[in-house]
Chains A and B, each alone.
Chain A
Amino acid sequence: MRKYVPKDNVQGKSYYTDRFWVAPRVPREEVSDAHFTGVVATLGALAKEAHVELGQLIVHIDARDNIAVIKALKEVCGYTQCSEQSAVDYLAKDGEFELFYQLLNVNEAKRTRVVCRIKKGEAIESIVPLFNSANFAEREMFDMFGIKVNNHPFLKRILMPDDWEGHPLLKTYPLHGDEFASWYEVDKIFGKEYRDIIGPENRDPAKVDRHDTKRFARIGYEVPFGTDISEGETQKEIEYSETLLVNYNKKESKTLDKRR
């Protein structure tokens, strides 16, 4: 029987799996720090769950409250910088995206991560009115995951071309690109009618074409040593470059003070 390959997550997977292996967890601590306790108290019921993981506060919230929470963090708790904003694809497992906002309090040198989850196809409200740094970050999230951001000033693809199809960081998107990606440049530069002549783009650097004897060894067509493999072709002399070898290996080793 052929091995089952899940279609909803085509990312790299461990070849060796042990079904009795239970992965340990990074310890989640109670919120005990004075500053973090204040943050959780300020958010009140808006924070569904809060814990400290590796020194940073993680607050889980409802995705609809994201503006209210981040506004409170900015205006009351002094989180004046949004360092990063992005998403994690949990579509295969839960049918949801996990979004996170990484915030920094410059005065107290504290970091808080606001985490919320949205279902597939749902949109999130933009936090650009609060943090302009989210402008590019939310565009990147839209580009990479296809998550729509409501009221974003300029929601457009940022890293991929405008006419690209598919969202590369989804777990369903293969590493070497999909069907669209392999024809994108051929279609765009030459036109669809040239597809047969040029062929799809090969994005796999490790690909070995066993019939290509120019660049690769005769994989699959190996013959005993000394067998004639010319197949009737006459051997051409290889032309080498005329450049003389330069002797870089001078006796003296390089030292800084002698190289003035």
Chain B
Amino acid sequence: MQVANKLSPFFENLNFERDDNTMVINFGPQHPSAHGQLRLVLELDGEQVVKAYPDIGYLHRGIEKMAENMTYNEFLPTTDRLDYIASTSNNYAYALAVEKLLGIEAPRRAQVIRTMLLELNRVISHLFFIATHALDVGAMSVFLYAFREREFGMDLMEDYCGARLTHSAVRIGGVPLDLPANWLENLATFCDKVEYELEHTYEALLTENRIWKMRLEDVGVISAEDALNWGCTGPMLRGSGVKYDIRKEEPYELYAELDFDVPVSDRCDSYGRYRLYMEEMKQSVRIMRQLIPMYGQTEPQLMAHAPKYISATKEDIMTQNYALMQHFVLVTQGMRPPKGEVYVPTESPKGELGFYIKSEGEPYAYRLKCRAPSFFHTGLLQKLLVGTYIADVVTIIGTTNIVFGEVDR
């Protein structure tokens, strides 16, 4: 029996002296392979996991509560802290939800820039996945190579918005900045670089690697039915043979005009998902290449024209009295969207990232619910880990690609 005192309180009513042969071990919350603050309580029979209980909440910051106490524009930088590996996807998902509520659409140039940034973030996030997943499994060099390319991607983000991790590169109604000089050339170089390295480094190192295949094949198997039932989205769902990509099925931004394929794997295991991530990066590169010439054909307007909700351009604010008044009201009071509720799903690199916003016509959202893909993928662990061996636990956590910023919110 545990003795509880002030310095070692009860965490759980876990019985360590058990009559049966199982052993209960505690994994995390500070385990280096837990991808954040994941505490996992595993019941083991020998080396086999009998029961898994993911315990989350170690990074809970009350982001949904903060959303109820901030105006819509104030909240946007907070969304950076959800999935901090691909911040722009969160900014975008939130901005899109509010735009749907307001009934406005970003101008064409902003759409091109946003789509570019979204795909750039997808590549950055997937490179991070490959890096950490390989590191967890034991392939150290892939980690270093993938982080090298990710640095170039983050340099591009830095050139655009000045930040490397918490971008806030999207605004409600458009984007704050136009692309800097040479950015498109650099993006093209980055595309070439990523495509080359994908084929010649990562896939050459991993795809046919005997150890990699032994560690990943038939590990973390989840059927299509289970994947749907447990709320899996994104690569977790497509890795189980369900071809559902929100960019294709419910297109937003420019995805309806772009030509890209949705890779699917019916292997249902970690290896299939790894191949899927690689293929998705190639498709992202393909999308970015199509977007580069589209930029030149757009008008220079960056923010939607909706004086009730969106401030005018800086030039107008500084020269026109009415724009200044409007800006003052929007900054001091915040925009007041119409009453209503909206749920907008977007395909973030991790899966379906959706924002449910309930507005009562006030400058503060009445309720904001962030549907984070990693939250449901963490819930899936209690099914996925049962029956596997302790050595595969880290692989399975890696393959779900969970980020605790958005699990705990």
Residues of A within 8 A of B (CB): 11-16, 21, 23-26, 53-54, 56, 58, 80-84, 86, 88-89, 100, 102, 106, 109, 111, 113, 131-133, 135-137, 140, 144, 157-162, 168-169, 173, 175, 188-191, 254-257, 259
Contact = CB atoms under 8 A, between A and B. Distances in A.
B369 interface: yes
Contacts of B64: 144, 169
Given A136-B379, A169-B64, A256-B189, A24 B339 contact: yes
A16 B60 CA distance: 32
Contact of A133 (B68, B100, B379): B379
Contacts of B230: 132-133
Nearest to A79: B228
Given A53-B341, A159-B57, A191-B6, A106 B371 contact: no
Nearest to A107: B244
Contacts of A16: 332-333
Interface string B315-337: 00000000000000000111010
A131 B231 contact: yes
Task: Name, among B12, B100, B332, B367, the residue most crowded by chain A CB atoms within 10 Å (CB to CB).
Answer: B367
B367 A84 contact: no
Interface in B224-258: 226, 228-231, 233, 242, 244, 249-250
Interface residues on B, range: 35 or more
Q: Interface of chain A, helix or strand or loop or mixed?
A: loop
A179 B360 CA distance: 29
Given A23-B336, A84-B371, A102 B356 contact: yes
Contacts, number: 149
Given A158-B57, A188-B6, A255-B182, A81 B356 contact: no
B24 interface: no
Nearest to B371: A84
B346 interface: no
Interface string B332-373: 111010111111010000001010101111111011010100
B186 interface: yes
A145 B351 CA distance: 26
B213 interface: no
B101 interface: yes
B147 interface: no
Contacts of A86: 356, 369
Given A106-B242, A256-B155, A131 B229 contact: yes
A89 B367 contact: yes
Contact of A168 (B65, B100, B354): B65
Contacts of A26: 101, 103, 338-342, 359
Nearest to B250: A109
B281 to A, nearest CB: 17
Q: Interface of chain B, helix or strand or loop or mixed?
A: mixed
Task: Name, among A53, A158, A257, the residue most crowded by chain B CB atoms within 10 Å (CB to CB).
Answer: A158
Contact of A111 (B226, B244, B345): B345
B371 A11 contact: no
A157 to B, nearest CB: 8
B206 interface: no
Contacts of A12: 68-70, 364
Contact of B228 (A58, A81, A169): A81
A25 B68 CA distance: 19
A8 to B, nearest CB: 14
7 contacts: A13-B362, A15-B333, A82-B231, A88-B367, A137-B376, A159-B57, A175-B62
A58 B358 CA distance: 13
Given A21-B336, A56-B343, A159-B57, 11 more contacts: A26-B359, A54-B342, A82-B231, A83-B345, A132-B229, A132-B231, A133-B230, A136-B378, A158-B56, A254-B155, A255-B182
B66 interface: yes
B356 to A, nearest CB: 7
B70 A25 contact: no
B52 to A, nearest CB: 12
B356 A256 contact: no
Contacts of A256: 152, 155-156, 186, 189-190, 193
Contacts of B363: 14
